[in-house]
Amino acid sequence: MKRPLYTLFIVIYQLIICWVLIILNAYYNDLLIPAGLLHAPARVGMKILIALAEGAILILIAYAIDRASLSDAEDDDSRRRVASKTCKVQLIITACFILAVILR
């Protein structure tokens, strides 16, 4: 492990993303769904789309923070490569987590 502090930061941020998505799903996402879809089968699909959009926004914030935190350590190409790999892994973890929480 070349970057233990960076890895710890990513794990903590991923836990924060999961916690925020649970809170948003439990309390706020139903407020965004139109009243006509509250009891329709499409409600689950709408909740998944809303949660994916929220997850994407949080991951973009993490990507920007990753790029900024790696700015001192390496050259621009290496920094972009590490941040992109981290973003892809976070995207997969977040999407699986969203599906597991909503479709439980």
Statement: residue 72 has pLDDT above 70: no
pLDDT average, residue stretch 78-98: 84
pLDDT average, residue stretch 43-70: 84
Residues spanned by the domain of 81: 4-102
Q: Which residue has the tokens 């925020």?
A: 20
**Residue 65 and residue 67: Cα distance in Å, rounded?**
5
pLDDT average, residue stretch 42-53: 84
Q: Would you state the pLDDT for residue 32?
A: 81
- 40 Rama class: left (phi>0) / alpha (psi -120 to 50) / beta: beta
Which amino acid type is present at position 39? H
Domain count along the chain: 1
Statement: residue 7 has pLDDT above 60: yes
